[in-house]
Structure 1
Amino acid sequence: MSLMSKLRLVTVDVTGTLIAYKGQLGDYYCMAAKASGVPCPDYTRMHEGFKVAYAEMTRKHPCFGHATSMPTVEWWKTCVKDSFSRAGYEYDDDTFEKIFRRIYGAFGSSAPYSVFPDAQHFLRWLRNKGFVVGLISNAEYRYRDVVLPALGLNQGSEWDFGVFSGIVGVEKPDRRIYEMALETAGGVAPEEALHIGDSMRKDYAPARSVGMHALLVDRFRTADAELWRRSGAPVVPDLAAAQEWIAGNPFPREERTRRPVATEHRV
């Protein structure tokens, strides 16, 4: 029996699977600083500073502040300020407020993101085949309300529901976020669900741990992809290949021959 005939629900990761960041984080931080009348920060230092600051905020205030009742905007303001500080840049309150407003506004719009050309078609194909389509993402409410609609990925036409960590208070790789998705879809059994994402740790492993089928997408030719395959995980290069995999592979299944795919830089 084919996998497709077993499925009722398909959930999909967002960043790295459906959409990607354009350019480097430092681009946006630098532009915001310059537009506020101060020198452009060093890109590398800014990027490294952000990674540390973001990890620290995630540890102290998980799910973009949801876990500690911290407003999302305050979470980002603290993270951005710490990012600049770790990169060696300190600003007076007025200057920082101007910089932050520009950064927060940019990342609450479609400007820093691009949607992969196969994303909309794939999601619509799933829904046309009768599957319930859910999104599972470590993201805050602006992904749902602003970013995805601005990129042409709309609830009701491309996806049916979303489970976003900043809204539900649970984030990947916590298996509970996958259990929430199954429940939101109407109590779908795990063996009737497939999750698609680009991370072994955050997508494949926790989805499999609750009993869901899982598929990895390796759009960027990552070094880890070969390790994923050796562990037995099915890996495809894009969502066009994922569609073929769902429609054509018998269950249990093996990965099809990889096809060339254009690489795209992401943060």
Structure 2
Amino acid sequence: MCYKLITFDFTGTLMRFRIPPHVQYERIASLYGVEIKNTQAFHKNFKTAFKTADNEHPNFGCNTNLHWTQWWVNVVKNTFIGAGVEDSPHLDSIAWHLIKLYSTTEGWEVVPV
């Protein structure tokens, strides 16, 4: 048997977040002066924003020709907007900051064996 592609569930299997995502999002938002007034709604809204993006643009946008970075920008912005934060250019800046952060080891650590 010849395998052409092997995939892994990356998050939680091979690597894990150094800091819980909602905490990281809040920290980065504060750098841009964005205040999250309803933190409970904010914490829950990431899953909603992620599921919505996945339903509209499966496989991180690959199936609908949406670039993966725009897919994540949409998730980040909708996480904030769904928690009552007004849409602004700051949300784009926050999204790109997070994309860059999670593209490095700063956002991740190896799951111990």
TM-score (norm 2): 0.81
- Structure number with greater CO (CA < 8 Å, separation at least 6) is 2
Question: How far apart in 2 are the matches of 1:12 and 1:68?
Answer: 22
**Structure having the larger proportion of residues in helix:** 2
Give the counterpart of 1:67 among 63, 67, 88: 63
The number of residue pairs the alignment matches comes to 109
| 1:1-267 alignment, distance < 5 Å | 13-40=9-36, 42-93=38-89, 95-118=90-113
Shift of the 34–54 alpha-carbon distance from structure 1 to 2, 3 Å rule, reads: same
C-alpha displacement at 1:31, in angstroms?
1.1
AA matched with 1:19: M
Letter in 2 for 1:89: V
Give identity over the alignment, percent: 28
User: RMSD value over aligned CA atoms?
Assistant: 2.2
The runs of at least 4 consecutive aligned structure 1 residues that moved more than 6 Å come to: none
Question: Residue type matched to 1:106 in 2?
Answer: L
Please report how far the alpha carbon of residue 12 of structure 1 lies from its aligned counterpart in structure 2 after TM superposition. 5.2
**Shift in Å at residue 40 of structure 1?**
4.6
Shift of 1:88: 1.0
> Runs of 5+ in structure 1 lacking a partner?
1-8, 119-267
- Structure 1 pair 41–101 and aligned structure 2 pair: CA distance change class (3 A): farther
Distance (Å, rounded) in 1 between the aligned partners of 2:110 and 2:31: 27
What letter matches 1:65 in structure 2?
G
Gaps in structure 2 of 5+ consecutive residues: none
* TM-score, structure 1 as length reference: 0.37
Structure number with greater Rg is 1
